[in-house]
Amino acid sequence: MRQSSAEFSQLLVKAGRGAGLPLGLAEDLVVPAIWLQICGFPGDVEILGALTALDEEQVERRFPDLSAATDSSSLRRISGVYLAAAACDLLQLGWPADGEEFFLPKTESPLLVAAALALSYRGLRRESFLSVETSEHVFFSAPTGEIACVKRELEHRSSDPRSDGVIRLLAQQSGSDCIGTVLVDADKESRFYDVRRLKGLCADPDSIGRLKVFADRLLVPESEYSLKFGAGAGIVDSD
């Protein structure tokens, strides 16, 4: 189904709030989710998965301490929403240093976190390239602002089950020659945005419906009591 970016953005914020996220974190979902959706990734599915994992307590609802090695190697998954926020904040402080390799804690939404990191790094315009690697994709954020994404071929993916949900970060002075299918580069991203402008976003109806279920939690029940205290249009014409 097609819908506007504004409509999708509002739905994401409401769904995040309905799942119990603070307003700031719910708003943080919008940019990476919209970008993923524009560029042909299932951003709606990623967000739905992240909110469902939070709602069902499948992941830890906390900001990880990325300076602690024990936290980075935690056996239980960290919510991708909280992990992305914590990692993006550290990027603004100059982390990681050039040549530094860093592994983030396991998360249920590595694609969402990777997109958030690549987009945040783009805005900083640092002098190094940032490589953000998941088990299936590699994102490169360049000093010029260009973002590229390569999908790894099956034979180049790790077979170690411990790597599932882990994200590897590396700041370096040059790009990478990772083998795989180029899903996004500057030219493709530009064409994706042209399609979005002309036709809107394409989203899965089932995912949109389930996101609306989260958003509907913000609605108050229809009653004389709720009308009396400000819900809806009021209880008399003069309200």
In sequence order, which residues have a C-beta less than 8 Å from that of residue 5 and are 6 or more positions away?
A: 34, 196, 200, 201
Which residue matches tokens 């990325």?
66
Is the predicted pLDDT of residue 71 greater than 70, yes or no? no
Q: What is the identity of the amino acid at 205? A: P
User: What value does the mean pLDDT take over residues 58-86?
Assistant: 85
User: What value does the mean pLDDT take over residues 80-93?
Assistant: 96
Q: What is the identity of the amino acid at 35? A: W
In sequence order, which residues have a C-beta less than 8 Å from that of residue 2 and are 6 or more positions away?
A: 199, 200, 201, 202, 203
In sequence order, which residues have a C-beta less than 8 Å from that of residue 50 and are 6 or more positions away?
A: 29, 79, 80, 81, 108, 109, 112
Of the listed ranges 110-119, 175-184, 203-212, the least confidently predicted one is: 175-184
- Band (1; pLDDT cuts 50, 70, 90): confident
Burial label, 54 (beta-carbon count in 10 A; 0-12, 13-18, 19+): buried
Rounded to whole angstroms, the Cα distance separating 177 from 6 reads 36
Which residue matches tokens 């973002």?
147
Which helix (H) or strand (E) element contains residue 152? strand 147-152
Rounded to whole angstroms, the Cα distance separating 139 from 134 reads 9
Question: Which tokens is 6 given?
Answer: 């504004």
Is the predicted pLDDT of residue 218 greater than 90, yes or no? yes
Rounded to whole angstroms, the Cα distance separating 162 from 155 reads 17
Rounded to whole angstroms, the Cα distance separating 140 from 171 reads 10
The runs of H, that is alpha helices, within 43-100 are 43-55, 69-72, 80-91
In sequence order, which residues have a C-beta less than 8 Å from that of residue 68 and are 6 or more positions away?
A: none
Q: At 139, is the secondary structure helix, strand, or coil?
A: strand
Q: What is the identity of the amino acid at 167? A: I
Signed CA dihedral, 96, 99, 101, 107: sign only? positive
Summarised one tens digit per residue, pLDDT across range 3-51 is 888 999 999 999 999 999 999 999 999 999 999 999 999 999 999 999 9
